[in-house]
Amino acid sequence: MLRPFCLLALIGALLQPLAVAVARDVAPPTEYLDEQTGATVTVVDKPMVFARERSERAANLRDYVNVTAAAVNRGGKIEYVLIAYVWSTLDPRYAPAIGASSLLLQADDRRFVLNANGKLPADLGIAQTVHAPPGHESAPLVFPVDLPTLRFIAVARSLAVQAVADEEAIDYELWDDQRRSLGRFVEFLNGQR
């Protein structure tokens, strides 16, 4: 029979790899000085990804919306933005309308209308591409946002996105849940490094 101390030591040894894996799952945000713009840029570690199935064309095809939170500090003036990419794994002939002008982000019982302000990330001080979908051409959409909204999104129980282009609305469900990364980003910006 194992003594209580031995049993606790054994349980601790078994759980340690799990704790390390969980700690690695949420890395701190990336913070860098953009050499082209002179701005200090902080970007969430991983973007949230929303998707919609396109099985009417072929199996395992989807349309996606990547949503990345970023903060840009220019001389002490901080701007918070969400950068979104609308893209697809479909043949370009069947891809969704990429000219989305706004996103409707549903977080629990709140709806946030995110209107693109016509600016590119470089206009705000982000010259490097952040979390763009690899291998897919997609223009970034930039949406101004505030820190309380980011905090609310990070703790919301349910999230969905609707992309609006030319009065057509396309619904996307949460596919890669990175709310923990967004929560870590908000904590980081609040000085909890």
| 184: three-class secondary structure by DSSP | helix
pLDDT of residue 99: 61
Dmax over Cα atoms in the chain, in whole Å? 71
pLDDT of residue 10: 46
State pLDDT tens for residues 116-167.
777 788 888 898 889 988 877 778 888 899 999 999 999 999 999 998 877 7
State mean pLDDT over 70-95: 86
Among candidates 161, 153, 142, which has minimal Cα distance to 178? Answer: 153
Neighbours of 165 (CB within 10 A): 15
77 pLDDT higher than 80 = yes
How far is 56 from 84, CA to CA, in rounded Å?
25
How far is 122 from 57, CA to CA, in rounded Å?
36
Size of the chain, expressed as the number of residues it contains: 193
* pLDDT above 90: percentage of residues in the chain: 47
For the chain, which residues make up each domain, given as ranges? Answer: 28-189
pLDDT of residue 92: 66
On whether the CB atoms of residues 45 and 60 are closer than 8 A, the answer is no
pTM metric for this prediction: 0.80
On whether the CB atoms of residues 147 and 186 are closer than 8 A, the answer is yes
**Gyration radius of the chain over CA positions:** 20
